[in-house]
């Protein structure tokens, strides 16, 4: 989710808040004390996702911990979005290291978050598992596209990581007042509705990206034309053969 990405590719980030967020991150990075490093910010982002998952889980018994979910998501945004910006502002970029470590932490963070949600009383375990699988599929496709197509996309339909954090924070705030909603005359868990919707959205993003990138690669690497085999020439036999 962060800015400190791999070297030789085009980075596309067209979310609703991308432009304003970029200006804010540069402003913050220029004012951070020298002892703060990109690696520390990456570690903070991962720890925040673990804290968010634990807060979701613990809120089953102590609902005020939902406030901890919102605080943890804010810390995750700070660390995950700022680590690459800080590296660029200070001209301390490590493209391969940053790309690898950031994505490994993103995957681990998703496991912490969705795992905590699934273990809580606010989301069914099956919905959490489906959401995790959909996220992993989209992440894998994104990494493959970065390697093969040279394009790293961080948003789909103007929705990016920051927008998703805001939606999740709003959901956590709503849970404090009513963890269930009425749907077709039945009371269902709010996060189940949101989780299914997010899974469908991620699945749609996966299919759209897979079709787009497959078509682009097919055009870039068409099947080579098959050359006809040379005709066999029969040599007339001589009297000595």
The CATH number linked to 103 is 1.20.120.1760
> What pLDDT does residue 138 have?
94
Question: Which one-letter DSSP state was computed for residue 9?
Answer: S
Is the residue at 240 inside a domain?
no
pLDDT, tens digit, for every residue of 199-211?
Answer: 999 999 999 999 9
> What pLDDT does residue 86 have?
95
Is the residue at 52 inside a domain?
yes
> What pLDDT does residue 1 have?
38
pTM: 0.85
Number of domains in the chain: 1
Alpha-carbon span 150 to 24, nearest angstrom: 27
> What pLDDT does residue 172 have?
94
> What pLDDT does residue 98 have?
87
CA separation, residue 75 to residues 43, 44, 85 (Å): 11, 7, 16
Give the number of C-alpha atoms closer than 13 A to the C-alpha of residue 131, restricted to the C-beta side. Answer: 23
Which residue, chain included where needed, has tokens 């469908």? 200
Cβ pair 75, 19 in contact under 8 A: no
pLDDT, tens digit, for every residue of 108-120?
Answer: 999 999 999 999 9
| pLDDT lower than 50: segments of the chain | 1-7
CA separation, residue 228 to residues 221, 222, 225, 234 (Å): 21, 18, 9, 18
Is the residue at 237 inside a domain?
no
Question: Which one-letter DSSP state was computed for residue 159?
Answer: B
Helices marked H in 17-160 — which ranges?
18-29, 38-58, 66-89, 95-119, 125-149
Cβ pair 104, 206 in contact under 8 A: no
- Continuous segment of H or E residues that includes residue 198: helix 190-220
> What pLDDT does residue 95 have?
86
Non-local (6+) Cβ contacts of 87 within 8 A are 4, 38, 93, 94, 98
Domain span including residue 169: 10-220
Is the residue at 231 inside a domain?
no
β-strand pairing of 180-183 with 186-189: antiparallel
Phi, psi (rounded to 5 degrees) for 8: -95, 75
Non-local (6+) Cβ contacts of 195 within 8 A are 117, 123, 124, 127, 128, 130, 131
> What pLDDT does residue 15 have?
84
Cβ pair 45, 74 in contact under 8 A: no
Is the residue at 226 inside a domain?
no
Is the residue at 4 inside a domain?
no
- Kindly report the length of the chain: 241
> What pLDDT does residue 152 have?
82
Number of neighbours of residue 232 by Cβ within 10 angstroms: 5
Alpha-carbon span 142 to 151, nearest angstrom: 9
Is the residue at 19 inside a domain?
yes
């Amino acid at each position: 989710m962060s800015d400190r990405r791999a070297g030789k590719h085009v980075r596309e980030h067209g979310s609703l808040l991308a432009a304003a967020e970029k200006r804010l991150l540069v402003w913050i990075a220029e004012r951070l004390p020298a002892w703060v490093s990109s690696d520390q910010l990456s570690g903070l982002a991962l720890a925040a996702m673990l804290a968010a998952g634990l807060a979701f889980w613990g809120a089953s018994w102590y609902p005020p911990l939902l406030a901890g979910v919102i605080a943890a998501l804010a810390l995750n945004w700070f660390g995950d979005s700022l680590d690459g910006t800080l590296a660029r502002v200070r001209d301390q970029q490590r493209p391969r290291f940053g790309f690898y470590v950031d994505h490994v932490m993103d995957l681990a963070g998703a496991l912490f978050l969705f795992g905590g949600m699934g273990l809580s009383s606010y989301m069914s375990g099956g919905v959490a598992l489906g959401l995790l699988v959909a996220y992993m599929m989209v992440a894998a496709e994104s990494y493959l596209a970065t390697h093969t197509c040279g394009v790293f996309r961080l948003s789909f339909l103007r929705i990016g990581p920051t927008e998703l954090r805001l939606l999740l924070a709003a959901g956590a705030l709503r849970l404090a007042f009513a963890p269930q909603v009425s749907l077709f005359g039945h009371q269902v868990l709010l996060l189940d509705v949101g989780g299914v919707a997010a899974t469908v959205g991620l699945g749609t993003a996966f299919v759209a990206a897979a079709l787009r990138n497959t078509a682009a690669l097919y055009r870039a690497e068409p099947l080579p034309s098959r050359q006809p085999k040379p005709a066999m020439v029969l040599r007339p036999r001589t009297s000595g053969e």
